[in-house]
Structure 1
Amino acid sequence: MGMGMGAAGGKWGRGRVKNPQPHWEWGQNPPIAAPRRFRCWGGAGGKGEAERGSGCGARPLTHCLQPGAMGGEQSLALPPGKGPHGVGCVDVMVGHTRQGLFLRLFYPCEPRVGAERPRWIPRYEYSQGLAQFRGRSPRWGAPLLHVAFGSCRVPVSWKGPFKPRSGGYPLVIFSHGLGAFRTLYSSICSELASWGFVVAALEHRDGSASATYFCTAESGQEEWIQHQRLPPGQKEFYFRNMQVHQRANECVRALRLFQAVRGGRPVPNVLHPDFDLSVLKDGVDLGKVAVMGHSFGGVTAVLALVKEPSFRCAVALDAWMFPLENTLYPEVPRPVLFINAEKFQTPESIAKMKRLSSRNSQTRIITVLGSVHHSQTDFAFLTGKLVRRIFNVGGTLDPHKGLDIISRAALAFLQRHLDLKEDFDRWEHLLDGIGDSVVPAAPPCRSNL
């Protein structure tokens, strides 16, 4: 997503592989175990589902770790959005094949007392996928993740009533990184939703997620899709380039879903037929659409600008630029905001970003000091000392401050390029790298890729 430090990272750091996959992407690790099949379940917290560690469950917000647990720190929890809107959330699955679409939707909602809170890791299978993708044995890695994060709830209202607004809300399509899935960026997605955006966080089916699934039409069974590592003998660039094109196409298909809803066409939600997507018909302004992503998702967002003219801009969080072919750089038609971590990017990756900025005066590159690659994920809020040591995900910047910088810079950029009538321009100084813990362009690269 970039999600972790792969076991093969040492090889890449010593320069044994030409044009390597970054060590933080875990791409060389084994795929998850053989697919498991269950009858499809919508995630409403039923007994059978709870036994499998899935669903959301009707519970108030809980901390992931108790004081003193997993490293002797205070209780850890995802932050609620700071904007004026409450945030609702629902999973949307369209179609019964791998060519369908799966996303988690964050949106402004009406307040509701005793609202259900969805689980951060929605299924135990995702813990298994994360463990094996990280190169850990699922026999102990998955239970460790489940103990650490299984009780964690996202501070949003599960299937909360959509809050209508005249003219609708702007739309952001969000693309996760390698080894992630739709829920691991809940903090930034819910933050944007709290400021008046509809955010569709995709779960890609190109083999880059640590785990994902679809529901078959014939039997209603879950078909789990394994994380796909680099095939033996295949060049890294060609494999990742194929994936990034599929990912960008999925971003476009997500937009098509909202266009279908807007056009009044029925769009059945396989997982939650009780959540009628037609409530979004007049709730999304399809003239104000952006695409956003982290790591592999960052370069996916850049490529999506080439594929779909309706995307008016992109926000790329610590983008992994390696998979994008050089011939496409002149074709990127819209501005991009690159928000980089201090201790990740390489000179080669920065050069590719600067190549885009030289062609579009509205493209911006900023760096958040004291941050690492994982600082732009939910793990920044949920990892105590022990988990940080095991998964090597720590930065020196307070994660709440980091989220403020990232979200406010993104909001200012989105206001500028989506022509929003908000007051996000109060944070425009961040786009020039002016402010505490933020600098323009990039500092001397410290990555050992």
Structure 2
Amino acid sequence: MRLPEGHPTLGGDQTGEVPNAKQPKYRPPRGWRDKVLFPGRSLPLYTGPYPVATMEIEVPVEKPQVFSHIKRDHRHMLQLETILMTVYYPTNHSDYNSLNHNLRFSRELWLGRPRHRIAEGYGRFAGVGKLAIPVFLPAMFTKLPAYRNAPIATHWAPPVDTKAGGIEVKTQAGSRPDGASAEPVFPLLLFSHGLGGTRTMYSSVCGEFASLGFVVCAIEHRDGSGARSYVNHSESGEGGMEDREQRGGIDHRSEERSKGYDIIDYLFPKDNPIDTSPNNDKGVDKELRDAQIALRMAEIEEAYGVMRQVVKGDGKLVAERNLRRKGFKGSSSHGLEGVDWSRWRDRVRLDYVTAAGHSFGAATVVEMLRHDDRFDYVAQGIIYDIWGAGTRPPDEESPRHRIHAPLLAINSETFTYWRSNFELVEALVKEAQDDPESSPSWLLTLRGTVHISQSDFSLMYPHVCSLFLKVVANPRRALDLNINASLEFLSQVLPKEIAQVNRAYQDENILESELSPLDRIPPSQLRKPDDAYIAVRLKIRHEWFYRMSPQLLRRFRRMQNRRKGRPPETGDEVWLHTKPTKESIDQHMRSLEGKSDVQQEKYDQAMPKAQDHAKHDS
């Protein structure tokens, strides 16, 4: 299966040799915080040719509202009041040296503020309470390898990454593609986190996309699915507490009024706190999970509205309403100071948006794809290790509300052994491929990975994951496989003028691997655990041997295979279960021809003009 004729290769032919399939990409330490001697955890540098920057935004929503009648302590639990997100984006190569040494460009904390309270929230989610604080103590010093509020990039990056060109590639500009604008217009990716997640827990995935030429909007959901989040309130006026109560039926406690903020902790289902477990006899709390997805979809709409406002030239109005600044809970004193909003005007594509999510966030993406009348700006979806039980079934009474967009599903090996969950993912891929609006879709498994391998936890705590969850894959290599497979997918479903922004694309042909039906995989390759640990961890044969020397164990297994006349193992890193035909991809690409300009014109007409927002906010 190859790219349609005339489609860009995104620079893949200019990046040198394909990286060693067993080695992660080159990620040199950037500073003293990334050194082993520093008493904390570090996150790896992003490998793309762009340096990465972030903005932390919390603003009152346009439409405050309450979702479902679920209450605790006589208060509605699912309320939409503000939208909180971290925006990851490429920054300018010419500013790289000044960014490195300019104290004005600080780095966002990975854990967030207040750090010990956030750690306590994770402990509550994990059932250990304040005992989690010492576990998270090293992570309290961790910062994202990205610059806060730096200028958005105005240059085309060179068609190489740090593996091919070294760290110096981030200080260089590349040539403009033929027929492209002088400044790149970056594609937008909306990211939805899973249960217990935050907007920064997937910073390695989001930042990696940003280093390759995407603007990523990572939303922090306040639906009771995160470990802990703080919702700030304006003192008065539009967007204040009284305004939200009057317009959206929001209710607040007296202590929330006096403090000026709410604390949203993980909401355990009543009488069924472990509804996420495969061995839970009571099943999933559908009322709660359906209401949470409804709230999440509304949050994503609000986040998209903020991005639209920024791109249309109203960034200053967003900054004026921002509640993540000095004096507000969980905020940095930097706020949005120093952002050059003029650079953002018309610099992000508001159409052909990619929706991506992990676990319950992936279930959210599926629901968005099924409602393309509501999310008509979303063109394709990437679902990382979807929690199928939290996914709504398709609406049989409305054929329109089905997936009619390209879909990439990437499973961890642990979730592939969860049979009912795997069958649901297969059904989602088939739903996207079904006629009459068949869309190219893929389903694959990353071997040796567990559910948290697509988050930062496996990078922050690799030894814990190895010892207790039996992770076999190198966490950095697992990140590479997730990103590379996603880039291969996007290169085959995005229009040419959008796809060409990413010029450091390295095609490992992951999506062209031989098909590996799950029932035909040799037992010797399976790491299926006992039923009690399904979806939680893997099982390592000869674990004592593996702990002594994984390389020696692999060599021993190869010797055994040769001695017994067995063929070499295939699918050493990836099992590809489903892929589309070349005709399906060609048909999809033909459907995109000439549609891009029409889409942009439609959004220009459908979205309120910048002056209307200025009048509304004043």
| TM-score interval for Structure 1 and Structure 2 normalised by the shorter chain | 0.7 to 0.9
Tell me, yes or no, if structure 1 residue 156 matches structure 2 residue 146: yes
For structure 2, list consecutive stretches of 5 or more residues without a partner in the other structure. 1-29, 65-79, 156-182, 236-257, 273-281, 325-334, 434-438, 536-618
Name the amino acid aligned to 2:322: N
Q: Where does residue 177 of structure 2 map in the other structure? A: none
1 CA distance for matches of 2:403 and 2:504?
25
Q: Where does residue 222 of structure 1 map in the other structure? A: 261
Name the amino acid aligned to 1:117: R
Deviations 1:366-386 (A, max 9, x none): 110111111111111111535
Contact 2:462–2:475 (8 Å) recurs in 1: no
2 CA distance for matches of 1:388 and 1:137?
23
Deviations 1:68-104 (A, max 9, x none): x8xxxxx852111111100001211111774221011
Contact 1:374–1:393 (8 Å) recurs in 2: no
2 CA distance for matches of 1:248 and 1:197?
21
Contact 1:64–1:150 (8 Å) recurs in 2: no
Name the amino acid aligned to 2:534: N
1:126-205 paired onto structure 2 within 5 Å: 126-138=118-130, 140-145=131-136, 147-164=137-154, 166-205=183-222
State the Cα distance separating 1:397 from its structure 2 match: 0.5
State the Cα distance separating 1:424 from its structure 2 match: 6.7
Secondary structure at 1:62 match in 2: helix
Contact 1:61–1:155 (8 Å) recurs in 2: no
State the Cα distance separating 1:441 from its structure 2 match: 6.2
Name the amino acid aligned to 2:297: A
Deviations 1:396-432 (A, max 9, x none): 1011111111001111112222221245775262124
Contact 2:55–2:336 (8 Å) recurs in 1: no
Tell me, yes or no, if structure 1 residue 344 matches structure 2 residue 415: yes
Name the amino acid aligned to 2:287: Y
Tell me, yes or no, if structure 1 residue 298 matches structure 2 residue 384: no
Q: Where does residue 108 of structure 1 map in the other structure? A: 90
Contact 1:208–1:228 (8 Å) recurs in 2: yes
Tell me, yes or no, if structure 1 residue 90 matches structure 2 residue 90: no
Secondary structure at 1:285 match in 2: coil
State the Cα distance separating 1:334 from its structure 2 match: 0.9
Distance 1:251 1:440, change over 3 A: farther
Secondary structure at 1:142 match in 2: helix
Deviations 1:185-214 (A, max 9, x none): 111111100000001111001110101112
State the Cα distance separating 1:440 from its structure 2 match: 5.0
Distance 1:61 1:403, change over 3 A: farther
1 CA distance for matches of 2:424 and 2:81?
31
Number of equivalenced pairs = 377
2:494 alignment partner, one of 418, 422, 431: 418
1:281 alignment partner, one of 345, 366, 374: 345
Contact 2:312–2:346 (8 Å) recurs in 1: no
1:47-86 paired onto structure 2 within 5 Å: 62-63=33-34, 66=37, 76-86=41-51
Contact 2:466–2:472 (8 Å) recurs in 1: no
2 CA distance for matches of 1:246 and 1:357?
25
Distance 1:240 1:278, change over 3 A: farther
Q: Where does residue 507 of structure 2 map in the other structure? A: 427
2 CA distance for matches of 1:403 and 1:430?
14
State the Cα distance separating 1:236 from its structure 2 match: 1.2
Distance 1:401 1:386, change over 3 A: closer
2 CA distance for matches of 1:395 and 1:64?
24
Tell me, yes or no, if structure 1 residue 373 matches structure 2 residue 451: yes
When you count helix as a share of all residues, which structure comes out higher? 2
Deviations 1:214-266 (A, max 9, x none): 21111783322121110237961222122122212322222222222233343
2 CA distance for matches of 1:61 and 1:408?
29
Q: Where does residue 319 of structure 1 map in the other structure? A: 386
Two-structure CA RMSD over aligned residues (Å): 2.8
Name the amino acid aligned to 1:226: D
Secondary structure at 2:414 match in 1: coil
State the Cα distance separating 1:281 from its structure 2 match: 2.3
2 CA distance for matches of 1:324 and 1:208?
14
1 CA distance for matches of 2:313 and 2:52?
24
Of 183-192 and 216-225, the range deviating more from structure 2: 216-225
Of 231-240 and 256-265, the range deviating more from structure 2: 231-240
Give the % identical residues: 27
Contact 1:432–1:440 (8 Å) recurs in 2: no
Normalised by the length of structure 1, the TM-score is 0.77
Normalised by the length of structure 2, the TM-score is 0.57
State the Cα distance separating 1:387 from its structure 2 match: 7.4
Q: Where does residue 227 of structure 2 map in the other structure? A: 210
